[in-house]
Structure 1
Amino acid sequence: MKRMMKRLLPVLMAIAPLTICAQKVYELKDISGKVQVNVIVNDKNVEYSVLHDNDVMVAPSPIFMKLTDGTAFGLNPKVKKISRRSVNETIYPPIYKKKSIKEQFNELTIDFKGGYSLVFRAYEDGAAYRFVSELKKPFMVESEQASFCFPNDPKVFVASPKGRMNEGKKDPFYSSFQNTYLETALSAWDKEQIAFLPVLVEGKNGKKICITEADLMNYPGMYVKHGEHGYSLDGIFAAYPKTIVDEVRGLKGVVKSREPYIAKVEGNTAFPWRVMVIAKDDAELLCNDMVYKLATPAQFTDFSWIKPGKVAWDWWNDWNLYNVDFRAGINNETYKYYIDFASKFGIEYVILDEGWAVPGKADLFEVIPEIDLKELISYAKSKNVDLILWAGYRAFEKDMDRVCKHYAAMGIKGFKIDFMDRDDQQVVEFNRKAAETGAKYKLLIDLHGTFKPTGLQRTYPNTINFEGVHGLEEMKWAEPGTDQVIYDVTVPFIRMVAGPLDYTQGAMNNVIMKNFHAVYTEPMSQGTRCRQLALYTIFDSPINMLCDAPTNYLKEEECTKFIAAIPTVWNQTLPISGKVGEHIVMAREKDGIWYVGGLTDWKERDVEVDLSFLADGEFNAEIFRDGINADRVGKDYKREVIRVSANKKLNLHMAPGGGFVIRITK
């Protein structure tokens, strides 16, 4: 008997996996063959893995969705059919960091019995998947399992929402999405924390995986937390709001109770893409297009009225004008001064931030008596300047169509909407509806006080900026130890991968770290003057603020003229070098003029800039570099003009917390 069992054992072992769980593996590779997605379908569930040049980036990870009626997409799956397609074409975005985008991917669609599909895409720089429902009736999603498993304990860069106080405790789903990044081993990250997207994960051979989402139109935004097993991250979502109370002068809606589900769905629906951008080196993350490519294209074709540009901004500098003969504040005299300043330097817009509407009313039709909007609009038009209005989210939401119709007819060109502070399904729908209504009335929409972009800027190109960033406004109230310099050389590799950011740079009071202190009414920036100038080239912002007071800019005309001339959209964007948390060098081109910007951390740094991207011939290079004493006085800088050509390499020194910017013209 023992002998018989020995002979049968290998046979039984071979049969056992099939008996326990029969499975099928579907392989998908991108056009170049670098990225490979394996989709494993067995009797119990669906898993996927992602490889890059045979390096495992994401190990087998389970994915499914549970509905409140007991139905599940991805559990006990039964494949009905599979289909494949390849796409190789070019996208020409109307408002973007590039004139054209190569769209190349291979796609695998697996249709399952039960009325749903899974779609996978493989790009040369990453992979993505999404669920698609073909159900005819509305339903509710109870939960979604979105897993990202890793073959070892990776280093991660995560931003955890602090959570605002709600009902006596911190609510992680009530957040401004304005947090700095923690760099840590995944195993050392607090298991009680969640992080909002994007997050950055270090993979094999120093490669990076940036995890985010795209085409988020009618579903809650995704966070991640420690996975249940091994080294992994699992998606987590805010539940659907049940009770909302207006707070903060009626400007925001705070969720007091939630439903036992995360989303209401109208039957046939394509859910958001779960996105994994893969970069061989950090610099590749600086100009990735994956979120834009995965977004729904615009359904309208006339983009001629969408005008990007610079904005003279009032709130950061607290309306602090001086050397004037009127009382500065929220009044027509002050805004005429801002308009005159904008006109002098060719700045396209002036914003009227919080305060132009009667405080506490949350009614955008009640304007304070100190402001005559018709007069301001007429005055601005005579100076070739346009106006944008700030609005609290709840005030804008309650009468959105009438507000947009009324102010568009008056001549207002856009709204900066604030205080959403959530990304549950209701706020995601609000953002989409605001974009749609803005497009209807030819208004720009700046979604401030909101979560990261997920491609809405492609679907509605008038949705021109998004906050979701620890921007310069944080310097007005920064706690001791806040390090904005390190953040500046971290965020372009993570948050900016998702899309443009409303960072609001341009400070003229620049100090080294030991001299920095938070001042609400006369704020300052950390690092050097040239750092602030370089941010206009490094950061993507089609609508870009000049945050400081006009009076301060008028004292610094050389820098102001330079800032005002920098484009906000580009024909080309090229990463030159960079390492997350350390330094960045980027080049951008518009209308034949190149700008090169560089930033460093608190270490002084010498970098070499290869100018081989230039055409033949000689060029003038206007350089703003850190002054010899910039490590002591942040405002110290030097401007020079030299001749350069494509065969030249420039060696540039950056002071601690410093930077440089170059404008290259024929």
Structure 2
Amino acid sequence: MVSSPDNQLSIGFDLNDGKPFYHVLFKQDTIIYPSQLGFTFKEIPALKDGFKVLKTEVNEYNSTWEQPWGENKKVEDQYRELEVQLQEVVGQERLMNIYFRAYNDGVAFRYEFPEQKNLGDFVIMDELTQFDVKGNPDTWWIWADYNTYEKLYQQTSMEEASWVATPVTMKGEQNIHISIHEAALTDYAGMTLKQKVKGVYEAELVPWANGDKVRGSAPMKTPWRTIQISPTAAGLVQSNMILNLNEPSRIEDTSWIKPMKYIGIWWGMHLGTETWYPGPRHGATTENAIKHIDFAASNNIEGLVIEGWNDGWESWGAKDAFDHITPATDFDLNKVAAYAREKGVMLIGHHETGGDIESYEKYMEAAFKMCHDLGMHAVKTGYAGGIYPRGEHHHGQFMVRHYRKVVELAAKYQIMLDVHEPIKPTGIRRTWPNMMTREGVRGMEWNAWSEGNPPSHTVIIPFTRGLGGPTDYTPGTFDLLFANAGERVKWNTEDIGMTRTHTTLAKQLANFVILYSPLQMASDLPKNYEGHPAFQFIADFNADSDESGVLNGEVGQYITIARRSGEEWYLGSATNEEARALDVKLDFLTPGLNYTAQIYKDADDGDWKTNPQGYSIVEEEVSSETVLRLKLAAGGGQAIRFVKK
């Protein structure tokens, strides 16, 4: 047994008749009942029983480290660790070690196959790790599959959540909140959770095309299996455990890695007013790019992504469709890149692969070098569609290896990454801080061509998907009913023709703060921002956070977050379909100083259904002793900038 530094959490190891188990306690109450550990392999005996303990060792660790960007620049890393060395009693006498860590905000464990004569190359067919969660807690989850996380969350009992993607979040007895996930996913299959026995989750790894789960060789360490635990929902969001379980940065000079806001030639394609491919409605023309650069430069927007700039979009879905070097016929890349540099706007590259990994890897190095030479130090990648070679999956070991290869190669050319259709975040941004943000969520674009995302969706994300890491949700839509979109052409089979964005305008601003991303997109068309008073919040917002605090929150109901950037603070608060008033203490502000609170709030009669675009902007003098009452409309929110007087 090993306990957290504050002695509130404990994780224990048991060997019952040679079978390894673990269990978890919070304040001496069971959270996870004894749960099985082990593996089955291809063509060799399993490692699941017949063990003896060779040695145990407990160590304690306490440090603070700094990251070049993040919700909090300074991160405390404090835990106690139990190492258990196991050996088979009979047979090949193979070795397996398990490391257990207890933090104040959760517990984690991982397996190690040390170097040994009787275990060389191997294929894992099943990881037998179980999570026997106490009771039948309320659970917020999405259906697992092998290729996408872009789904709406459900709230059910745990027993009804039969096969889930992680992070999966639960609320049990005495309001104890837990989230099960993984950290440091490296050269391994992504983990889902399946109830093979009702009420008990077991690791279900995403397979290779032939059914193998993980191909490896000793020595090898698995990803960490993580259980974040908090007496409040807000405490889950405040946790740094996933980050701390990853290795320190491998990039020595991080001066080129800089958070920023960006806009894009992108939303028009989702609305169906523009196309990714050349033609009369092509979005990525030289002329349009110049207009977007001018808008960004005039409004304190640091970056611009241009989708559809390159050859291949007219061959969508075909093998070897995309050329990541050659511009489309009506796009002058050199001219646009030079103009962006002149205006001080970072041009963000866009590499849509269509899932064709073999083709993209042929282009990748030359494409990254080209971006570097043009001063483009950020690239948005995309993996929409099925994976080539066919049969492989977005979340299997094949793609985990590819995603990591891209991150490492991008670092070589000083490229920051925004990955769409990704593997879920597991904290590798600590090791590779050029891995800035990723999608891996049902984001803003679904509002343009489906039934949309309900108001509760964005107040579930921080407590679920957001626990893994930054989320490129792309908030900031002002034309909520698409009244200013122009002629739209259906291009997506999900398009039901009744699309809209299911929030108030003030909540769109609040999401800039709530849905953390160091590359934060203002998603709407520039014409919907020009001359709009509420756009001032986006222009003023600083995506480079120094510290963050979660002021309140309940999963799927509401959340309030404050972030400091330099001497300014930004606050975002949002609710679900229910209107509510929240009293918020401003004790995060520097004591003894007065601030001007620039408040962007819902109109008195605001409502996401009946008056989504009603808002007001007011100013109020506040201090660290002030308690603000935030009135949030149904589906609404509030955004505040605090400036020292």
1:493 pairs, out of 455, 459, 463, with 463
Alignment length, in residue pairs? 597
AA at the equivalent of 1:208: H
| Partner residue, 1:120 | 100
How far is 1:203 from its partner? 2.4
SS in 2 for 1:140: strand
Contact 1:510 1:526 (8 Å CA) reproduced: yes
User: What residue in structure 2 maps to residue 456 of structure 1?
Assistant: 428
- Is the 2:450–2:496 contact (alpha carbons within 8 Å) kept by the matching residues of 1? no
Partner of 1:182: 154
2:28 aligns with one of 22, 35, 54: 54
- 2:190 is matched with 221
Shift of 1:56: 1.3
Corresponding residue of 1:293: 244
Q: Does 1:570 align with 2:524?
A: no
Partner of 2:593: 617
| C-alpha distance in structure 2 between counterparts of 1:527 and 1:237, whole Å | 36
Name the counterpart of 2:304.
Answer: 350
- Decide whether the 8 Å contact of 2:509 with 2:639 is kept in 1: yes
Identify unmatched segments of 5+ residues in structure 1. Answer: 1-26, 162-171, 241-257
**Alignment counterpart, residue 468 of structure 1, candidates 424, 432, 440:** 440
Using the TM superposition, give the Cα deviation of residue 142 of structure 1 relative to its aligned residue in structure 2, in angstroms: 1.7
Whether 1:504 and 2:458 are equivalent positions in the alignment is no
Equivalent position of 1:405 in the other structure: 369
Is residue 2:494 matched to residue 1:528?
no
The amino acid across from 1:305 in the alignment is W
Computing the radius of gyration from Cα coordinates, the structure with the larger value is 1
Matches within 5 A, 1:593-612: 593-612=568-587
The one-letter code matched in structure 1 to 2:140 is F
Matched-pair contact (CA < 8 Å) for 1:605–1:654: yes
Rounded Cα–Cα distance in structure 2 between residues aligned with 1:407 and 1:108: 46
Superposition map of 1:299-314 within 5 A: 299-314=250-265
Q: Secondary structure at the match of 1:57?
A: strand
Secondary structure, in 3 states, of the residue corresponding to 2:542? coil
The one of 199, 203, 206 equivalent to 1:235 is 203
Q: Is the 1:147–1:227 contact (alpha carbons within 8 Å) kept by the matching residues of 2?
A: no
Gaps of 5+ in 2: 88-93, 275-279, 316-320, 385-392, 483-489
- When residues 521 and 388 of structure 1 are mapped into structure 2, their CA distance, relative to the original with a 3 A threshold, is farther
Task: Show the counterpart of 2:222.
Answer: 271
Name the counterpart of 1:364. Answer: 324
Deviates more, 1:493-502 or 1:448-457: 448-457
Letter in 1 for 2:468: A
For 1:520 and 1:329, the matched residues in 2 are separated by 23
Q: 1:376 aligns with which of 336, 345, 366?
A: 336
- Mapped to 2, the partners of 1:541 and 1:188 lie a distance apart of 32
Deviation at 1:274, TM superposition (A): 0.2
Match in the other structure for 1:433: 405
The Cα of 1:354 is off from its aligned counterpart by 3.4
Q: Deviations 1:86-144 (Å, cap 9, x if unpaired)?
A: 10100211120102111000001111222321000000111000001113532221210
Kindly state the Cα deviation for residue 181 of structure 1 after the two structures are TM-superposed: 1.0
Whether contact under 8 Å (1:97, 1:571) holds in the other structure is yes
Q: Which amino acid aligns with 1:211?
A: I
Name the amino acid aligned to 2:113.
S
1:597 maps to amino acid: G
Does residue 650 (structure 1) correspond to residue 628 (structure 2)? The answer is yes
Return 412-421 or 537-546, whichever deviates more.
412-421
Q: Which residue of 2 aligns with 1:484?
A: 454
* Residue matched to 1:24: none
Structure 1 residue 287, shift from structure 2 partner: 2.1
Paired AA for residue 589 in structure 1:
R
* SS of residue paired to 1:525: coil
Q: Which residue number in structure 1 is paired with residue 177 of structure 2?
A: 208
- TM-score w.r.t. structure 2 length? 0.89
Aligned residue in 2 for 1:22: none
Which residue in 1 is equivalent to 2:637?
659
Aligned equivalents of 2:473 and 2:498: distance in 1? 18
Q: Which amino acid aligns with 1:381?
A: R
Question: Shift in Å at residue 71 of structure 1?
Answer: 3.7
Paired with 2:284 and 2:374, the residues of 1 have a C-alpha distance of 20
| Sequence identity percentage | 28
Q: Distance in 1 between matches of 2:450 and 2:454?
A: 9
Superposed displacement of residue 618, structure 1: 1.3
Aligned-pair CA distance for 1:366: 2.6
Cα RMSD of the aligned pairs, angstroms, is: 2.1
Paired AA for residue 249 in structure 2: A
CA displacement at 1:511 relative to structure 2:
5.2
Corresponding position: 1:111 with 2:111: no
Report the 3-state secondary structure (helix = DSSP H, G, I; strand = E; otherwise coil) of the residue aligned with 2:371.
helix
Q: CA deviation at 1:561?
A: 2.5
